[in-house]
């Protein structure tokens, strides 16, 4: 009898230890995301004072902004390449991209200075859509992998979707600038904040999932302990 109790205790302990490690991992990601938000805030204070746009001509009427177009396009493309190299779902990436296009056309609008909107809100929607979609199927399995997938998805789709929206509006501008038609800051802000939101939301989901499993194990052990 004593041996059976000890074996059961060892088995439950074996189950609990990886759950605790995963929750600790989620908490670390939350802390890193918080530090990232603070660091980007400091960076943006610097950029607002030392703002210098660099435009490169593509045609006589169209140019591309270095900070609002070239850098986000490169980062989004690299994130997409890493995403596919990790063999994540191409269908989910496409769905997030389409969702963000819909959000983008709803949020960004034409003003006298070009396209304007709420890039930080867009970044939040990007992180939310990426995380919820990745965790929607079999949420209790491969939670760390889903977190990585949601972060890469957000980093890929957020800048590329805004650039695509900006390109659609090019015919409405004279001497249009991709990533610069009022969005030179917007694309960059969304690109920087969206993966942090994805990390934050994914980490919360991971912690809640593992906490639920942990409580289930505890509740399962209580009748055995009382008997």
Which residues, including other chains, have CB under 8 Å from residue 184's CB and lie 6 or more apart? Answer: 53, 65, 67, 68, 177
pLDDT band at 116 (very low <50, low <70, confident <90, very high): confident
Mean pLDDT throughout 122-142?
A: 89
Q: Which is nearest to 141 in space by CA: 201, 206, 94?
A: 206
Residue-level pLDDT at 11 = 46
Residue-level pLDDT at 51 = 59
Per-residue pLDDT at 2 exceeds 50:
no
Token reading at 193: 């904040």
For 11-34, how does the pLDDT look when each residue is reduced to its tens digit (9 = 90+)? 455 566 777 787 788 888 889 988
The pLDDT mean for the chain works out to 82
Q: Which is nearest to 162 in space by CA: 35, 23, 68, 24?
A: 68
pLDDT band at 96 (very low <50, low <70, confident <90, very high): very high
Stronger pLDDT, 187 or 213, i.e. the higher one? 187
Per-residue pLDDT at 168 exceeds 70:
yes
3-state secondary structure 40-94: HHHHHHHHHHCCCCCEEECCCCEEEEHHHHHHHHHHHHHHHHHHHHCCCCHHHHH
Per-residue pLDDT at 111 exceeds 70:
yes
Mean pLDDT throughout 71-94?
A: 94
Residue-level pLDDT at 223 = 57
Mean pLDDT throughout 43-72?
A: 75
């Amino acid at each position: 009898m004593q041996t059976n109790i000890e074996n059961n205790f060892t088995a439950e302990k074996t189950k609990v230890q990886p759950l605790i490690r995963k929750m600790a991992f989620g908490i670390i990601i939350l802390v890193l995301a918080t530090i990232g938000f603070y660091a980007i805030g400091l960076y943006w204070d610097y950029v607002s004072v030392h703002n210098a746009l660099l435009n490169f001509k593509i045609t006589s009427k169209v140019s591309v902004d270095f900070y609002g177009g070239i850098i986000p396009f490169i980062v989004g493309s690299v994130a997409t390449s890493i995403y596919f190299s990790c063999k994540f779902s191409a269908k989910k990436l496409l769905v997030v991209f389409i969702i963000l296009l819909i959000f983008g056309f709803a949020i960004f609008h034409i003003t006298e200075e070009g396209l304007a909107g709420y890039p930080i809100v867009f970044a939040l929607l990007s992180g939310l859509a990426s995380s919820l979609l990745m965790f929607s199927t079999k949420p209790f399995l491969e939670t760390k992998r889903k977190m990585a997938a949601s972060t890469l998805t957000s980093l890929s789709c957020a800048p590329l979707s805004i650039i695509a929206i900006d390109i659609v509006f090019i015919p409405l501008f004279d001497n249009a600038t991709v990533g610069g038609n009022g969005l030179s800051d917007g694309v960059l802000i969304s690109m920087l904040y969206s993966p942090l939101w994805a990390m934050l939301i994914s980490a919360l989901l991971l912690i809640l999932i593992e906490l639920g499993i942990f409580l289930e194990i505890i509740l399962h052990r209580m009748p055995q302990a009382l008997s």
